[in-house]
Structure 1
């Protein structure tokens, strides 16, 4: 692959194109250009998700230098402490690494299927990326700006006295019997199942106006501004999985209360309670707690039925309700 096929581009050619040339800048020179110490520059490099560097080794390009100079300027303008900046960079690096991994693997798989040969498919993927790399950058920037505009408006509409806290309804949905499936399925088929689950579940959440917080294998965590919206999402998730011949049923739990939002995720007892409710729910059912039940009481299309109480560690006695549409 690195030598390239006749008339094609190699992985090294693609790397040079992506990085703006061969590496010729040391960590020390990179740090000096940004007005940072080599230790801090190395810390930021690690936060992006890249391995250790040698201070004297020339492993950086002009693109790397431009990026860290911009980063240093942003740090100064924000006036933030090191912990905040490292967390921000780590979140960005994690998401970009995941996106790059997904895109390359999916592209190689698709082109290998078309070519009928894995090596030929990998070469086609490299050539495609080389020819179209300038198209991906604007699309990524567009997607980021579009999401940034939506999130800024959403967050500013929910400003409270504590900027880190907000009241939301959060829900988990997980595939019933996933452990058994993962033991008995071919890994490739299991990967396709998980991908199908993420696609269908995310579409349901977004169609109802909710937010996908994260997907982890057999589970999706979502959040909504209202309990009614969250319950509708839960019911739609159960219906969608029931009618999809490829997917197993899901169990859903929803809780309403205060959460802490940080680095794109949500934390706190409300989130933990939603997770516990999911583990107690039955397949194709949505289980909710008292705050959510009270919040949907006036919704004419929803009906909550008490299922009794459960004593949960860290929560004490929790009143549980099943919910359905009228």
Structure 2
């Protein structure tokens, strides 16, 4: 490293920084706060909620774009859109979501640069001139489309308050740990991306939506238990096919009242679905009492019998299993779900 190249990268990071932010950083955090008309405490709080690291008081790490971001945030607060409670949740969600998106996009640009034989840093800088404006415009389009979809769901559910009846499912890759040890980092990423892409297509086609991925597990919701049952059964069917590259999976479905907040779901129904997945066998789908009653259209008699004769309804066959005890739930009623 040298005085003219403090990062030791030939100035690539500085050039990329100036290119993406519109100008080279020249403001300290105090100067940014003063220009935006907000307190330094508020500016630092928002910076940290977005997931960015602490910056020294005298470090010129900010640009006019940071001033504008604080001004816009302050406008939303004054308009009553962002109360302090909403501000924390929304900004934190932005930080997490865009951090993951940025990691993926940088990896994509770097791989494209490698394919054309360019240095990763200089290649990304060159490619960004052509790619980033289009990516930014496409992101805005996707965001607006999802706003429309979320708004439509909210209007349909507003009579029930912040909670709604949803089918919740966790899908877990069987043997993920052992398989991941045999793959390079690039192969593992490619494998997981292929898995998520396949699940996304199957889910959307059947009326469900993916909430998030947690390691090798996906959290999916659907408005009806029938839609969720179709999704889970198709995923396990593909996973059980030796000629299909899709990995073996297991799934747990629960149905009932779920609290929705900032694109995530919470409550006992979510917890039960996770617990069922953890005890399901490979290529199996387990459902809870709520899903069973919704799929069959009848109440289950509360008796001491551990196993019943299989119920067949519509396109499903449900066989009651022995009650299970999992973390937080003792003697949970559970059924195995199979195609009729």
Q: Is residue 191 of structure 1 aligned with residue 189 of structure 2? A: yes
Segments of structure 1 that go 5 or more residues without pairing to the other structure are: 5-9
1:138 corresponds to which residue?
137
2:289 corresponds to which residue?
290
Pairwise CA distance, 1:236:
1.5
Pairwise CA distance, 1:92:
0.6
- Whether the 8 Å contact between 2:76 and 2:82 is mirrored in structure 1 is no
Q: Count residues with an aligned counterpart.
A: 317
1:7 corresponds to which residue?
none
1:241 corresponds to which residue?
239
**1:156-195 pair list within 5 angstroms:** 156-163=155-162, 165-195=163-193
> Relative to structure 2, which stretch is displaced further, 127-136 or 165-174?
127-136
2:300 corresponds to which residue?
none
1:81 corresponds to which residue?
83
Aligned partner (choices 188, 191, 201) of residue 199 of structure 2: 201
Distance 2:136 2:247 in 1: 37
**1:8-87 pair list within 5 angstroms:** 10-78=12-80, 80-87=82-89
SS for the counterpart of 1:57 is coil
Distance 2:94 2:155 in 1: 21
Distance 1:110 1:260 in 2: 41
TM-score of the aligned structures, taking structure 1 as reference length: 0.90
Pairwise CA distance, 1:316:
2.1
Q: How big is each residue's C-alpha offset from its partner over 1:131-151, in whole Å with a ceiling of 9 and x where there is no partner?
A: 332222211111111111111
> Relative to structure 2, which stretch is displaced further, 29-38 or 279-288?
29-38
> 4+ residue stretches of structure 1 with deviation over 6 A?
none
SS for the counterpart of 2:61 is strand
**1:304-319 pair list within 5 angstroms:** 304-319=318-333
- Whether the 8 Å contact between 1:309 and 1:319 is mirrored in structure 2 is yes
Q: How big is each residue's C-alpha offset from its partner over 1:257-315, in whole Å with a ceiling of 9 and x where there is no partner?
A: 12222222111111111011111111111110111011111562222221232233422
- Whether the 8 Å contact between 1:238 and 1:285 is mirrored in structure 2 is yes
Pairwise CA distance, 1:241:
2.8
- Whether the 8 Å contact between 1:258 and 1:270 is mirrored in structure 2 is yes
Pairwise CA distance, 1:210:
0.6
- Whether the 8 Å contact between 1:14 and 1:130 is mirrored in structure 2 is no
Change in Cα spacing, 1:240 to 1:75, as seen in structure 2 (3 Å) is farther
> Relative to structure 2, which stretch is displaced further, 140-149 or 18-27?
18-27
SS for the counterpart of 1:25 is coil
SS for the counterpart of 2:212 is strand
SS for the counterpart of 2:256 is strand
Q: Is residue 324 of structure 1 aligned with residue 338 of structure 2? A: yes
Q: How large is the RMSD of aligned CA atoms in angstroms? A: 2.1
